[in-house]
Structure formats: structure tokens, C-alpha cells
Structure 1
Amino acid sequence: MASSARMRRLLLSSVALTVPCTALAQSASEVIILAPISVESDREVQTQTATPVTVIDSEEIEARQASTTAELLDSAPGVTLVNGSTPGGSAINIRGFGAWSGTYGNDQMVQIQIDGASSGAEELYRIGTQLYTDPALYKRAEVIRGSVGTFEYGSGAIGGMVRLETKDASDFTGGEPGFKLRQYLGYNSNGDGLVSSTTLAYQPDDVLELLFNYTYREQGEYVDGNGDTESDTDFETPSYLMKGTVHFGEDREHALTLSYNDTQSSEQDVPYDQFGQVDFGNVDRDIHSRTTILQYTYDSMDSDLINVDVTLSRADQEIEQSPTDPTSTNSLLDADHDYVTTKLTAKNTMEFASGEVDHRLRVGVEYMNRDRLDASSAPGGDDTRYAIFLVDDMEFGGFTFSPALRYEDQNIDGTDYGYDTYHNQALMGGASLRYQWDSGFAVFASYAYTEGLPILDDLSNPAYMTQSQTSTTYEIGASYASGSVIAPGDALAVKVNGYQTHVSDITSYSNVTDVEVQGIEVEAAYSTAAGYYTDLNASIANGYNRTVGATSDYWSQQPADQVRLGIGRRLGNGVNMKWEGVYNAEMTRSTDPTPSSFIHNISVSYAAQQGMLDGIEMRLAVENLMDEYYQPHLATRAAPGRTFKVSLAKTF
């Protein structure tokens, strides 16, 4: 009955929002079309949408010289890493959700997708987010904060969603027939980290494109700002990516892409607890992460109503462990985890007009099966889901109204391991409304309701297997994008977003059933005609434990407030110089307070554009320039001290 009532409320809310918007559309006499504003800084602020999203492009990925995929993401406002310098011990927190006190790498409230495949993010005890893949494989990382904008991709993304996109051959060949070889070498001084990434891209014609990338990365134990070695922070991760695309049909309307990426890691005689908090004993651990994706697209040249995208994916991750002490009786140390997620998504995008309203309607269906073997602290079984979703971006007279609905039907079967079967269903969705003036100023507001359906991890607790975690999020904000604001040739983009999220019926945490988080996120970028630029990212938030009888009002997973400011200059000869300051505020709203810190990073890069050095890219950076000792709030280890990073890349 409660689910049916929620369905009715969602449907009625959509109708109520649509009626006044349609009336406005009928009275609108013209559509405001503005020239795009390009700020020549390190990151484009997404001012054209109400969705709180941050996009990290290939240029920024290269510039950051990250050692782990998680390290690509922490510069987005609202994103905090629990550790981050190692693939296994890192976990991602978005708006106070995701990582759980170093106990679990993910609480299922942050979703992770690679080329549409759901990957990692299992709720494994004392193991990180399992985002083991190498950052060198990716050309784009997108962070959606909160639930607004996620219904097209999944359910239960209360904290948000990370969407990663691997490289294509055409990114190197420019879409022209030919062969390209790119070699990347990198070194960082803190732990003697080394990375070599080799990419081969080949296009024999405009029909076929092929890519192969092999990346080898190794890192020793790093030293913190006090000069102390952080034990068990070393790792070695060879990775490779194979990807091919065939274009066919008239005007290359059809495309078929097959990709496979593979990452392995072997750790000998290391603590079971990857967060380094509890001594359960040591293990030998082998990790193998594999993702296979087959995608078909058809973008009709004859009809704007046909733009089909069908994606079949299989994400397979194995974690094999054995105790180094053969007399150990702790079952955790001998637990092998093996989970496979198979997903099929079919979506069609239709662009059409109804009266004065222009639509971009996405309608899709999805099948997903998560099959996991039984292991200590991780019950095995099958989680099968069927979903249908609808998202419509409706533009009229300066307004953009975007309603979204998603329905999921779930069957969980744990009978192979002595558990029961369960059936659940949920209807979720929301809407955003945005208005933009011809000055470049815009305001927006949104509402989202999502449900985190029961998970395999709770099979041993039948009371949780019919209880969804429910969340409502309200957002309001404003943005501005314009050129020649202060001086001729400059550009400014600013986006401010306020939000409030309330999560009820929580099953992920011990003794916590209700949480409320509210905050403000700021993104800004400014550049001048002379090449000077500034980037600003900030997050200020409070989290509250609303559980009846809670011993503390504080939400234990709430990150500290953070401000990240970058100031740089691009010279006409391909040189880019930048200083970045990262201020983490003192966190006193916690039972485990942490002091403030102010970290300085500097970098300089050079991309030759002509002559004998054409195609060469060189980068030099110093992170934590002042060698400050600090341990970010929620982290279980001190952060690395001063680290010199240098890289050299050449495209032949």
C-alpha cells in the first residue's frame, strides 16, 4: 500500500508540474537561443543544466596525473575520498553518502558505471569501493551529485553517481584513416611511483576503428608530512583496454562497439583490512576485474524520432584471499569474493516539437542480474531487476522542464546458499524546472524521490529484504554564463546549488534509520583574453542523524567543508602554469573532530604545437608543496606529504 501511494504521489506531481509549464509554453512567443560561452580554464562549469553535474574531460585527466581512478573525482564539489592513494583502500563519498566509516567501501548510495556497465561498489567488509581500473583508460569522468539526473541510469543513487567513459581510437586519429601511437611515462617521488601507458589507435578507413591500451602502474609506500611511512600503501596494477568500432549503413548511421578492459592486482602478506583500522590478520590477495561491453547505436538521418542505443555489459570481479598464517581460524581471511553483473539497456531518444515546446525524450528498458558467490560477511545469491525509464527535456520560451520516471521490479534469490527469495518493486522519479534570461542568468529548482532496493548483503537479515531505503531531495540554484563581463574577451561561468536530502528506512548503517543532509555547492570559472584563468569549487554542508534515540545529532559520514581555488595562465606557446590551494575546514560537527588544513599544489605543462617537438606533452607538478601533515576528515590514513610528479607523453 505504501508503494502504491508513493506511485500516485509521483504521477500526480508530474501532472501538476506539467500543467502550468504547458500553459507557459502556449504563451511563449519565441525561444531564447544563446551563443555558447567558453571559459578557457581547466574545467567547464555545466551552467546549461539544472542537474548538479561535474565533467572532467581528457585534458584535465591528463593534467591531474592521478595514481588511482578515485583521485580523478575528489576535485568535484561535494566529493570526498576516504583515502584515495591506493585502488583497494579508497572509497568515494558524495554529499555524505557512499563510504561507510572505513567499514564498507560503499553503502550502495553511490553508483559507479563504466561505459554504461555497473561496476564495483559492492558492500564488502573492510574493502574499498573496488574501483581498481586505471585512470589512464578514461577520457571522461562525470560526477552527478544527488539523485536528480540519475533516473536514466539507475536507482538508489542517493549520494550520486560516477560515470566513466573509456577512450576511443578516433580520439587519437581525429576520425581520419591512419595509425597513431601514444606513449605516456610518469613518475612520482613519494613512493617512487612509476606508470607507463601505451596506446595504439588504427583506422584503416572510415568504417573501422581499433584501439589497444596497456598501462602498468606501481607505487611504493608513501610518506606523510611528518616523514613517517604509511604502511601497506604500495600497489601494482597492470591494466589493458581493447576496443573496436564498426560503422555501417548509409551515412554511417549504425555503429557496433565491442570493448574489454582488464585490471589485475596482487598483494602478498598485507592486512585484510584495506583501511588499516583493525588487525584481523594478514592475507595474500589477488584481484581480477574484467568488464566486457557490446554497444549498438543507430542515429537515423531521416528521422529525429529514432536514435537507438543498446548496451550489453558484463562486469566480473574476483577477489581471492588466503591467510598468511595457516593456523588462523578467522573466516574473513579465507573469504573469496566473486560477483558478476550482467546488464542490458535499450534506449531511444526522440526529438520533436509539440506546439511551442521542443522535446528531447528518452525512453528505455533495462535488465540487470547480479550474481554473487557466498562468502564470509557477503551472502551469495542472485539479484535480478527489470526497469523502465522515461526522461523528457522540454524547452519553451527560456524554460526547460525535465520530468523523469523510473520503475523497477526486483527478484532476489538466495536459495542456493540457504537463504530465501524476495520480490520488491518501486516507482521513483522527479523533475527539474529551469529558466534562463538572455543575459545568461538562470535559476532552477528540482525534486527527486528515489529508492535503494534491498541488496544481497542483507540476505541474512530477512527484515531488511522487503524494505527499501527511501530518499527525497530538494534543490534550488542559479547560474550565470557570459562573455566580456569585466574586460573584452573574458568569460565567466558560475553555478550555485543548494540542496536538502532526507533518507529514511535506512538499512546500510548500524543503529541509524534516518539521516538529513543539507548544503551548498559552488562551481566557477573565469578566463581573460590574455590567458589568465581561475577555477573555484566549494562545498559547505551539514549532516544530521535524525534517528529516534540517537546518541549524537551529527551524521558521522559528513565530510568537512572544502574550498578549492586554482589560478593559472595559458601562454600562446602551449605552456600552462597553475597554482591550486585546497582548504579543508576544521570539522567540529563530529564525535571525531579534525583540524583544518591548507594544501598548496603547483603545476606547469607544455604541449608542443609545431616543429620537431610537435606531439610532445610534458608536465611537472608538486602536490602538498609545504609538506604539511594532515589527515582529511573521514580518511583512515594520513595524506601523502610533498610529492613531485613528472610525466612525458608523445603521440606519433
Structure 2
Amino acid sequence: MQTQTATPITVIDQEEMDDRQASTTAELLDSVPGVNLVNGSTPGGSAINIRGMGAWSGTYGTDQTVQILVDGATSGAEELYRIGTQLYTDPALYKQAEVIRGSVGTFEYGSGAIGGVVRFETKDASDFTKGQDGFAARQYVGYNSNGGGVVSSSTLAWQASEAVELLFNYTWRTQDTYKDGHGDTVENTDFTTPSYLAKGTFHFGQDREHALTFSYSDTQSSDKDVPYDQFGSTNFGNVDRDIHSKTSVLSYSYDSLDSDLVNIDVTLSRAQQTIDQQSSTGSTTALLNADQDYVTTKLTVKNTMEFATGAADHNLRLGAEYMLKDRKDAASAPGGDDERFAVFLVDDMTFGGFTFSPALRFEDQNIDGTEHGYGKYHNSALMGGASLRYQWASGFAVFGSWAYTEGMPILDDLTNTAYMTQSQKAETWELGASYDRRDLFASGDRLALKLNAYHTDVWDVTSYSNVTDLEMEGVEIEASYATDAGYYADLNASVANGYNRTAGAATNFWSQQPADKVRVGFGKRYDSGLNLKWEGVWVMDMDRATTPTPGVFLHNVSAGYTAKSGVLEGVEMRVGVENLLDEYYQPHLATRAAPGRTLKVSVGRTF
């Protein structure tokens, strides 16, 4: 949790990623309050829901209101029929994941982020070399008992000097079908995803004030004779499907030593995904034989200025962004070009105990489907928001924010001319409080907590059929406590309601609202390098839906050990059991039962 800001933001660092032993990238986010996964245990058919937005269970893996960025590249956000978010990259490629819930804090990254933004950062060579010249290597292997999952991740890092660092990672992950809590096999949950990452950084100039970084990540999967519907809810027929995700990012940064007004970041990215599929039974149905191919090219230029005006200190980010999405025409996915230009401004102003953060974003769009027989449209929108926070010397703070965003028309709606000049609009109000204090009950301890309440109205809805107005409200809680003796506890909770405010709607409840959830953990870190933890996850009954879902209380236990001396020095060993009591449950919005008891074991070492 980030208690120093009014933005509802959670950062998952490398230590937590290692402890979770996630099988998919989506699983890295499961502990964040307000974030829920749809079929998150497999890359195919998985989707991310934040505050009731993002995943369209059983139909589409995304509704464009949750944005996903990998090293700044926009990725995994196409409304492909009966296919998930297309987030096929492997969790082993990343060293950090950041989740921004709601629209406040998202205007640097895009428009229409009603649910929020997920930002992934890939690993660097210096993470392994620790800034020292020379080579470093890391080997990681893991095993998952439920489905016989195996993962091997090999990394080679080279820091030639302070100026040059290079990294290469290859990860191979495979899993057979898993079993649910009743011991029944859940079909079509097997997958194999080889991935690799190549990344290099070159520093130059006085005291390395310039930096040039290039990264390329690549993930593939190949399935034969599998259902077209990755959600497994409707039988359209079987296909042979090959998926290839490629993300290239070139970034330049210049942090001037002479002026606090010059700190420039330039990022050029290209994210491409191809989905080649054909009916495995010889059917000529267009849907089964549709090939998807889409490329998103983006250039972002941003400058950060630090200065003072009277009693106020400013951290001002000014930027411009150009993005072109080019998609091939296919059954259920209209082709065309979506070209956008945006400018944005965010200023964090601190004075006394106050922090005031206004933000603006203007976006201009030209969307063109004429090459494939559709229309051509132009749209523009001004959006923004502001937050105000006050902190006392005691560590207690209160904050509030307001944000207005617009989701511009998308290529998927080219077949609906009414939607091509109608943006989806949302307004969010938030209030909250935080507390962060060290040496509170005993020397060396720390208590941190953050409570955030929100209310979101969405109108002119284009993401969902027969829906025009939505309302979401809820409370999110994050808390942690740690002692100098190594004991620790953490709590994450989300309680929310969603309402369909469309005139004449059959039900008042919002169909994509996930169940309320509370996650609590207790553990102890020993000086020997041993870390023991118990975690309880209480998913409450979801009866505010057409199809209610019963609640469940899950137990997870884990132990991690890093040897500090002897022949095993530096070896990291982890063992964990998820769903310890082998409970049967199907998360609300999911289209398949969750895994039953699962033993996870991993060993890693950096040389």
C-alpha cells in the first residue's frame, strides 16, 4: 500500500511476487483490494476486474476500462469474442506490478480507465548484478501439484560497466488440467507458454544523466483441438489456436544535473499480438477460422519539473502522447485504425501538511474503418480530476478526490455507428484516511493502514449491450503491522455494490460486480532466513445477482527459506499450499470452478 498519496495505489514488489509463486500474470494481482480475477489460474480465458469494471465474464475478457501497460506499452485490451484479456506474458518476466484503482492517478497513462490501470515493469540486469561489474545468473524451478505444473526460468545478466547492462531471460511454463475441490477435472485448463525477455540499458553523459533502454518480450502458446470459447461456457466448436505476443519498448531518459526543470522521459513502444486459429473439425464457420492480428504503436514524451512558488513545492509532469492501433478485420472483431493524440498535465503541489494534485488530459481521436467497409469518425475529449490530502505530524492523514474520464469509441464498435461518436463517461468521488507510524507500540515496529471509500457514476455506456447508466460504490481497506522481532500481519478487504441504473432494466444489480472479499495474513520472519505465513481468504456470499454464488473461506500456508551460510548459501526455497482444506468453489463471475488443494514448491539461486 502507498499511504503517502491520495491515489488508491498498490505496489507488488519482487519479494511478494516470489512468495506468491503465481502461475499466471493475472495471479500476481489477486491480493489487491478491489481487484478480482475471472478464471485467473490460466492465461487463456482469464480477465481482470477492478471495482466491477474490466472483465465481461462469459463474453469478453475486457471492456476497455482497465488498462494494462508493460514497460509503458499498452497491451492486452481487445474485446475479442469469448477470449480473455490476452495477457499471456509470464509472471517471471516482471519485478514489479502497480495497480491504480479508479480514475484518479490515471491521466498520465490513458483515457477511460474507470476501473483503473495495471503497470508491469520488467526485470533489469542490475537487479541481479547489484550494480557491480561482471556476470550474474539466476536459475529458478517450480512445481505445482494440481495439474503437474512445471516452470523453469533462466536469467543471464551482464554489467559491462556502470554504463552498460544487458539481460536475457527464458521461461518455460507448462501445466496439465487441474482438479477442483470435488476432485473433478476442469477441462481445458492446461497450457504451455514459453517466454523470453531481452533487455539492455546504456548510460552516457556526465554522471550518467542520459540513459537509453531497449526491451523485447515474447510469449507463445499453441493449443490443438480446444474449444473456441476460452471461458468454457458455450460450445461453438473446437479450433487449433496459436498465439504470439510481442512487445518492444525503446526508452530514453535525461535527468539534468544543472536544472530541476529538466527530467525528460521518451518511450516508443510496439505491442503486437497474433491469434491464428482454424476449425479442428473442418468447419467453415467464420468465427472458428478467424485470425486476429493487432498492433499498438505508442510514443510518449514527458518532462518532470520540480520547483517552488512561494510556500508551495511542485512536482509537475507535462507530456504528450501519440498512439496508433492497427487491427486486421476478422469475424466478431472489426478491423481498422484508431489514431489518437493526447496531452496531459499532473502537478503535485505540497504546502504545509497539504498535497494538492490537479490533473488534465486532452485526447483527440481519428478512427478509420473504411479499408474494411466501415466508417470514419473524429472525436475529442477533455478530462481530468484533482485530489487533496492533509497529513498531521502524528502520521494520520485524510484525503479526497474527484475525477472525470471518457472512454473514446473503439474499433470493436465500428459495426454500431451510434457508438462511434459517443464516448463513455464516468465521474468518481473518493474519500479516505491513512495512518503510518513507526515505534508505535514497541521500538522498531510499524503500523500502516489506508481506508478508501468511492462512488462512481458511468453514463452513455458503450461497453455493454442494453446498459446506459451504472453506479458503483464501495470501501477498500489495506493494513499491515510488523515488529522488530519479525512478526507481521496484513489485511486487505473490499466491500462494494454495483447498480444498473438503466431505465427499464430487468434487475437493479450490476451483473459484473464481484463478491466482497477479505484477506488476512499472519507470519514471522526469522533471523535464520525462514519465513512462515498463514493466510485466510474470506469470499462472502454474493446474492446481489441473478445467479447467486455461495461464499467460501480459504486457507493458504507457506514457508520460505533463504540460506545465509554453508553449502546452500544464497539458495531460496519456498513451499506453499493453496486451498489447504480442498474447498470446492467457483468465484463469482468465473465460468469454471477454481483449483482444489494445490502444493507449490520452488527453488531459486542467483550466482
Question: Which band: TM-score by shorter chain?
Answer: over 0.9
Aligned to 1:59: 15
1:487 Cα offset (Å):
2.3
**Residue in structure 2 matching 1:269, options 222, 225, 236:** 225
The one-letter code of the counterpart of 2:229 is: D
1:508 Cα offset (Å):
1.0
Aligned to 1:191: 147
The one-letter code of the counterpart of 2:176 is: G
Deviations 1:299-354 (A, max 9, x none): 1111111100000000000000100111x232110000000000000000000000
The one-letter code of the counterpart of 1:60 is: E
State the identity %. 72
**Residue in structure 1 matching 2:58, options 102, 113, 116:** 102
1:169 Cα offset (Å):
0.3
In the alignment, is the contact (CA less than 8 A) between 1:82 and 1:102 conserved in 2?
no
Does structure 1 residue 554 correspond to structure 2 residue 513? no
Count of aligned residue pairs for this structure pair = 607
**Residue in structure 1 matching 2:192, options 236, 240, 243:** 236
Does structure 1 residue 468 correspond to structure 2 residue 419? no
The one-letter code of the counterpart of 2:12 is: I
**Residue in structure 2 matching 1:173, options 125, 129, 138:** 129
**Residue in structure 2 matching 1:636, options 588, 591, 605:** 591
TM (norm. structure 2) is 1.00
Aligned to 1:75: 31
Give the Cα–Cα distance (whole angstroms) in 1 for the partners of residues 209 and 393 of structure 2.
Answer: 35
**Residue in structure 1 matching 2:163, options 183, 207, 228:** 207
Task: Kindly report the root-mean-square deviation, in angstroms, between the aligned alpha carbons of the 2 structures.
Answer: 0.6
1:457 Cα offset (Å):
0.3
Q: How does 1:247-262 map to 2 (within 5 A)?
A: 247-262=203-218
1:489 Cα offset (Å):
2.0
In the alignment, is the contact (CA less than 8 A) between 1:187 and 1:647 conserved in 2?
yes
**Residue in structure 1 matching 2:413, options 431, 454, 458:** 458
Give the Cα–Cα distance (whole angstroms) in 2 for the partners of residues 198 and 101 of structure 1.
Answer: 35
1:69 Cα offset (Å):
0.2
Aligned to 2:458: 503
1:483 Cα offset (Å):
1.2
Give the Cα–Cα distance (whole angstroms) in 1 for the partners of residues 274 and 447 of structure 2.
Answer: 47
- The structure with the greater share of residues assigned to helix is 1
**What SS does the aligned partner of 1:59 have?**
helix
What are the ranges of 5 or more consecutive residues in structure 2 without an aligned counterpart?
Answer: none
Give the Cα–Cα distance (whole angstroms) in 2 for the partners of residues 591 and 193 of structure 1.
Answer: 35
Aligned to 1:291: 247
Deviations 1:531-569 (A, max 9, x none): 100010000000000001101000000000000001000
**What SS does the aligned partner of 2:181 have?**
coil
Aligned to 2:69: 113
Q: How does 1:356-395 map to 2 (within 5 A)?
A: 356-395=311-350
Give the Cα–Cα distance (whole angstroms) in 2 for the partners of residues 523 and 46 of structure 1.
Answer: 9
Give the Cα–Cα distance (whole angstroms) in 1 for the partners of residues 4 and 564 of structure 2.
Answer: 32
Give the Cα–Cα distance (whole angstroms) in 1 for the partners of residues 444 and 156 of structure 2.
Answer: 39
Q: How does 1:313-462 map to 2 (within 5 A)?
A: 313-326=269-282, 328-462=283-417
1:488 Cα offset (Å):
2.4
**Residue in structure 1 matching 2:180, options 220, 224, 228:** 224
Greater mean deviation of Cα atoms: 363-372 or 483-492: 483-492
The one-letter code of the counterpart of 1:287 is: I
The one-letter code of the counterpart of 1:97 is: M
1:89 Cα offset (Å):
1.2
**Residue in structure 1 matching 2:114, options 154, 158, 170:** 158
1:88 Cα offset (Å):
1.3
What are the ranges of 5 or more consecutive residues in structure 1 without an aligned counterpart?
Answer: 1-44
Give the Cα–Cα distance (whole angstroms) in 1 for the partners of residues 381 and 441 of structure 2.
Answer: 50
Does structure 1 residue 480 correspond to structure 2 residue 435? yes
**What SS does the aligned partner of 1:465 have?**
helix
The one-letter code of the counterpart of 1:93 is: N
**Residue in structure 2 matching 1:530, options 468, 473, 485:** 485
Deviations 1:121-178 (A, max 9, x none): 1110000000000000000000100000000111100011100000000001111111
In the alignment, is the contact (CA less than 8 A) between 1:271 and 1:282 conserved in 2?
yes
**What SS does the aligned partner of 2:567 have?**
helix
**Residue in structure 2 matching 1:301, options 238, 257, 261:** 257
Aligned to 2:6: 50
1:484 Cα offset (Å):
1.9
Q: How does 1:491-640 map to 2 (within 5 A)?
A: 491-640=446-595
Give the Cα–Cα distance (whole angstroms) in 2 for the partners of residues 488 and 58 of structure 1.
Answer: 27
**What SS does the aligned partner of 2:389 have?**
strand
